[in-house]
């Protein structure tokens, strides 16, 4: 039997960090060895704990820089923080391949969003126009969300269009957690694909799948589908 995968959580005190710590600690094949906060020196903390895979769930916009620091420390990154652009993802992928490591950038860890994206891509092949509506709690400061940006990227690719041409509408209201709707319009009809979350627990299985996937990944991919599809092989 393989030794448990040594995992560090960056942003360990936050809501997603707390969920990740709980799920990792309960998994037989994972070992939580580092709980890293904003005052810790990231590379040193990872080296001191011999972390193998690190999960970043910090503030939007920090994920790419943290991913590069992880790779410099010889650690495989799983970036769950919003704001990693396609260009930054490509840079992480290139840096990882140079040192023969891998990881994953994950705009959204939920099973439902993965399935929504698959359905939306299929629908986009038949509908000429589509827009994305993302709805989040007031504490989410980045807009549009990383999930909505990824959705626009995937839908635009179906038609060979620029993702910037896919309208995204951002809503921030009390009472919301993390919802998304894709609306597709055709002659005389509209198709709505909607995903709603009612608790952070929906992200738990995806976090674990992403960490396990990263253990043997080559390069840094984008999207939880890599992990879910690998787990189903």
Q: What is the DSSP string of 117-151?
A: HHHHHHHHTT-SEEEEEEEE-TT---SS-HHHHHH
The dihedral through the CA atoms of 197, 203, 204, 206 has a sign that is positive
Q: Write down the catalytic residue from 66, 136, 195, 226.
A: 136
Q: Write down the catalytic residue from 140, 159, 169, 195.
A: 140
CA distance readout (Å), 95 to 69, 98, 99? 10, 5, 7
Q: How many helices (H) and strands (E) does the chain have?
A: 8, 10
Query: Is residue 81 exposed (0-12), middle (13-18) or buried (19+ Cβ within 10 Å)?
Result: buried
d(CA 83, CA 107): 8
d(CA 123, CA 118): 9
Neighbours of 80 (CB within 10 A): 29
Tokens 């891998």 correspond to 102
Return the closest-CA partner of residue 124 out of 112, 132, 135.
132
Tokens 């509209």 correspond to 190
Tokens 């299985």 correspond to 205
Q: Does the annotation count 140 as an active-site position?
A: yes
d(CA 90, CA 70): 16
Q: Does the annotation count 126 as an active-site position?
A: no
Catalytic residues: 136, 140
């Amino acid at each position: 039997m393989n030794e448990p995968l040594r995992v560090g959580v960056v942003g360990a005190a936050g809501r997603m960090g707390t969920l990740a710590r709980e799920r990792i600690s309960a998994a037989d094949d994972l070992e939580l060895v580092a709980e890293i906060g904003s005052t810790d020196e990231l590379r040193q903390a990872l080296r001191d704990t011999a972390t193998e895979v690190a999960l970043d769930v910090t503030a939007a916009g920090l994920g790419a820089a943290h991913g590069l620091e992880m790779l410099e420390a010889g650690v495989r990154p799983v970036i769950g923080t919003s704001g990693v652009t396609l260009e930054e993802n490509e840079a992480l992928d290139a840096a990882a391949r140079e040192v023969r490591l891998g990881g994953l950038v994950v705009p959204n860890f939920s099973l439902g969003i993965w399935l929504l994206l698959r359905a939306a891509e299929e629908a986009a092949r038949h509908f000429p126009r589509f827009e994305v509506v993302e709805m989040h709690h007031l504490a989410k400061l980045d807009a549009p969300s990383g999930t909505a940006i990824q959705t626009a990227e995937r839908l635009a690719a179906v038609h060979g269009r620029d993702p910037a041409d896919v309208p995204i509408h951002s809503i921030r209201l009390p009472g919301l957690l993390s919802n998304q709707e894709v609306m597709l319009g055709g002659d005389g009809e509209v198709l709505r694909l909607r995903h709603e979350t009612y608790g952070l627990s929906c992200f738990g299985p995806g976090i674990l799948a992403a960490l396990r996937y990263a253990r043997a990944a080559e390069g840094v991919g984008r999207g939880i589908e890599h992990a879910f599809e690998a787990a189903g092989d």
